[in-house]
Structure formats: C-alpha cells, structure tokens
Amino acid sequence: MTKNSIHSRVTPSPIFDCDFIQTAQLRVAKMHASAAHPVEPPTLVELEQALGERVQRYELWTQNWRNRVYRIELASGRAALAKQAVRGTEAMVQYQYDQLQLLSNLNIPGMRVPKALAFLRAKRVYVMEFAPGKTIESLLWNRSGRADLLLACELAGKILAQMHILRTEKISPMPVEPLARDLAAAPWHLSSREQKILQLALETFARAELRMGEIYYDYKPANLLFDNNQLFLVDPPDMVRQGAHLRDFVSFQSSMRRHLWRLSWRRPFDQRRTSIRQGMAAFEYGYFANIGRSYPEPALFASVVRFFELQRTAVLMTMQKGKVEAAYQKMPIAGQARLGNPLANRITLPLLEIEKRWLFRQLDRELP
C-alpha cells in the first residue's frame, strides 16, 4: 500500500488542527522577531479601578518570553494573580479570561477554575483569584506526598474524561494525511528503520477512529493544583484548538514520564520513581473508568498515543532549538532568563533526541 493510497482514504474536517509542529515553527519565528508590541506593567491605580477595591501591594512573581505573572494582595485580605501577555494579542488574553468562566460552567465534579476578577484590555492583563493547593508536578517530587499524588492523578484522569465527553463533536477517522505532512516538518533525522515504522503506523492508523472536538492542549501536571480533593485548572487556553482529544491525554502522561526519567537519571534508586509510575497508572484508571467507549479501539490505543507523543516531542524540539539559537545569537528576548536556563535548553535537545528514539521503539512494539 502506497503512502498516497493511505492519504486518499481519509478526508478530515478542515476545522481540526493537525499542524502543531508547523505552528511551533511559526511561534519560534515570532520569538526571534525583534518587533514585539511593547506593553507596560499595570499600575496600582489601574488594578484598583478594574477590581473595584483597594490593592495593598503587588509584585512580579514570575515571567518568561511570553508572559508576566504578578501576585496581588488586596486590602480585604484576598490574594489574586494577574497574567500579562508580553507577546500576544488582546484577543488571546480575552479568550483566556473568558475560558475561566466557560470551563467553570462545565460543572465537572472535582474540577475548579479560579474565579475571573478583572480584565485590562489595553495592558493585555487579566486577573483571577489565587488558587490554593500544590501542583501535581510538585507532588511528584515531594517524598511525603504520595497519597495526594495518587488521588490527584486519578482525579485528573476522571476530570479529563468528563471534559472530553462534554466536548466531543464527532467520532471521525484519524487525519492521516495532514499528520504526515506535519511530521515531515519535524526538526529531526529519521533512520531508515524509523521511517519504516512511521510508514507502517500511518497505514495502520488509517482505520483508527478518534474523539474530535475542542482540546485543552496544556493539560499537564504543572497546570493542575490539588487541594482538598479538588483540582484547580490554572492556565486556561489562549485560543481555540480543535483536534483529537487524545492530545490532552498525551500531554499529561508524557509530562509525567519526563519527570520519571529526570528522577531516574539523577537518583536511579529513589523510591519516588515508583510513586510516579503509580500516578501515571492512577491517571489512566481515572480516565478509562469514566470515558465510556474507548476511541481509538483498545488494540490501537497504545500505539496511537505513542504516535501523538512523537508529534509532541517534535514540537518541543522545535521550541528548544529556537531557544538555543536565540541565546547563541544573544537576541534581546533571551535576556533575564526569559527563555529559561541556557545550559538546560542545550542539554534538553539531546534528551529529546533520546526520547524520540525510545518512542519509535515503543511504537514498533505496540503496533498491532
């Protein structure tokens, strides 16, 4: 069966996104562009006017090349966070602000979303309540947090399953052709063996059916806060993304696996490795116990997950190469560690190459 014959079988709906690698390349190009519409931090007066109450103090909490995050203390004693898009548009900030309420309206048991408090359009800032709890990422590294970790991961799987059920627009064939085009843009070199595995995967997945609809995109341990048997989703999407729901599943599990590898390299006999594996299993249990019928079918599920993980790894490679190049060329955007630690960025690239090779081996084993 030829590649063209595979592609001719599937005509995916054009509203569903598949070009995540190419989108990352565009993001890198924008990152390198010298012209970014400057934006000043919000003033105390502006925050007080938008919030309708007095601000005791506020300070820059963290920042990167895309955003600044400020912690706010209100005179009432409440705490809040203000997120400002350094590189972005008013529409993106408005979308994130609106998502806080829209996600809350899903009324999924156990899921919480910080309350939206204010929107400062001219400064590209939205303000939300400060969410309590610890991220699942921090629980991974906490030796005494195993019980909370397992509860949080199972709840994360349960919430994601219910979100997918509510947002399923259709069950449709896997969009093989656009996915193949996107992977062709990946910044990697494939061996002949890897090319054969990829071709076989494309042939196999032409018959796979997936849940399609709106995706969360960044559903990962760093963005989920666990508190009192509830999860806060604290980093809402900044634009609508339509695609295979399985991407959200992959986002969580691949992030967990990277933490497992990082711990294994640093401390190969650390018992926390077992806790992370158990957390991944708890997430899967929570998801499968609540999703109903599995799409794709169980025989294809593991291999399709690996395929989407490969695409996600290619996206990360694209972004890391962009960061390394920006630091090497001493671009202004690389100053003040806004792109992360330069040494860590360089080390990450060969690690992502190792991950790519591992994923191909796993895909080879798991293809039916």
Tens-digit pLDDT profile for residues 26-39: 888 877 775 556 78
Tens-digit pLDDT profile for residues 294-343: 899 999 999 999 999 999 999 999 998 888 887 766 666 655 556 666 76
**13 pLDDT higher than 60:** no
C-alpha 195/C-alpha 199 separation (Å) is: 6
Q: What is the pLDDT of residue 332?
A: 60
Residue whose entry in the numeric block shows the structure tokens 């967990």: 256
C-alpha 35/C-alpha 52 separation (Å) is: 34
3-state secondary structure of 17: coil
Residue whose entry in the numeric block shows the structure tokens 């060969």: 350
Least confident of 35-49, 97-111, 201-215: 35-49
Tens-digit pLDDT profile for residues 175-189: 999 999 999 999 999
**6 pLDDT higher than 60:** no
**Torsional class of 292: left (φ above 0), alpha (ψ -120 to 50), beta (otherwise):** left
Q: What is the pLDDT of residue 65?
A: 80
DSSP 8-state assignment for residue 297: -
3-state secondary structure of 131: coil
3-state secondary structure of 93: helix
Q: What is the pLDDT of residue 284?
A: 97
Tens-digit pLDDT profile for residues 250-279: 999 999 999 999 888 888 888 899 999 999
Query: How much of the chain, in percent, has pLDDT values that exceed 90?
Result: 72
Element (H, E) at 125: strand 125-129
142 half-sphere exposure, CB direction, 13 A CA radius: 14
**2 pLDDT higher than 70:** no
Q: What is the pLDDT of residue 11?
A: 36
Range 193-216 average pLDDT: 95
Q: What is the pLDDT of residue 104?
A: 94
Average confidence score pLDDT of the chain: 89
3-state secondary structure of 71: strand
Outline where the chain has alpha helix (H): 3-9, 20-32, 44-51, 90-104, 136-140, 146-167, 176-184, 192-205, 246-266, 272-291, 298-328, 342-366
Q: What is the pLDDT of residue 5?
A: 34
Q: What is the pLDDT of residue 8?
A: 33
Tens-digit pLDDT profile for residues 78-93: 999 999 998 888 999 9
pTM beyond 0.85? yes
Q: What is the pLDDT of residue 3?
A: 35
> What domains, with CATH codes, occur in the chain?
3-35+134-366 (3.90.1200), 44-129 (3.30.200.20)
**9 pLDDT higher than 70:** no
Q: What is the pLDDT of residue 15?
A: 55
